[in-house]
């Protein structure tokens, strides 16, 4: 299993969002409105749990036939033999619909005919080596 790398920018954003969630929840505890307390606590609690789930459970698993990308409750299963190209990517704007990454430096994996996914394994070299061992036809495009 390969864990996602996390950029400093992502860390700052995650901390800011968590602080905003906590800051919007605290004032309701000092009000006398039980319904407001219940609603805000449930909504902010679910949001916080989802965010923490994504932060701590974004990873990539390679088995004999599939690459499995997970980020919190989201999951993508890709047949390794269908992977045609892996490209290095730098930047906040990523030209991919599926993003299982906590970093703005990562890999775009093209598979099937027009599908792609963006990921950011901590150990890119071992990750790519393991994929190309299973499918030696994968084209690796170095960063510019």
pLDDT in single tens digits along all 144 residues of the chain: 999 999 888 899 999 999 999 898 888 888 888 888 899 989 999 999 999 999 999 999 999 899 999 999 999 999 999 999 999 998 878 878 888 999 989 999 999 888 999 999 999 999 999 999 999 999 999 865
102: left (phi over 0), alpha (psi -120 to 50) or beta: alpha
Based on C-alpha coordinates, what's the Rg of the chain? 19
Please give the pLDDT value at position 144.
56
Residue among 22, 10, 87 nearest 48 (CA): 22
What are the chain's domains?
Answer: 1-144 (2.30.29.30)
């Amino acid at each position: 299993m390969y864990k996602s790398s996390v950029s400093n920018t992502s860390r700052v954003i995650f901390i800011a969002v968590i602080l905003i969630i906590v800051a919007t929840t605290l004032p309701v505890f000092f009000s006398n409105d039980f319904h407001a307390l219940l609603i805000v606590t449930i909504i902010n609690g679910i949001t916080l749990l989802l965010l923490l789930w994504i932060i701590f459970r974004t990873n990539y698993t390679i088995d004999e036939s599939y690459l499995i990308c997970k980020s919190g409750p989201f999951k993508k299963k890709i047949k390794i033999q269908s992977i045609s190209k892996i490209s290095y990517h730098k930047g906040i704007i990523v030209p991919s619909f599926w993003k299982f990454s906590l970093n703005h430096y990562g890999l775009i994996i093209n598979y099937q005919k027009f599908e792609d996914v963006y990921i950011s394994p901590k150990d890119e070299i071992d990750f790519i080596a393991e994929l190309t061992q299973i499918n030696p036809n994968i084209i690796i495009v170095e960063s510019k």
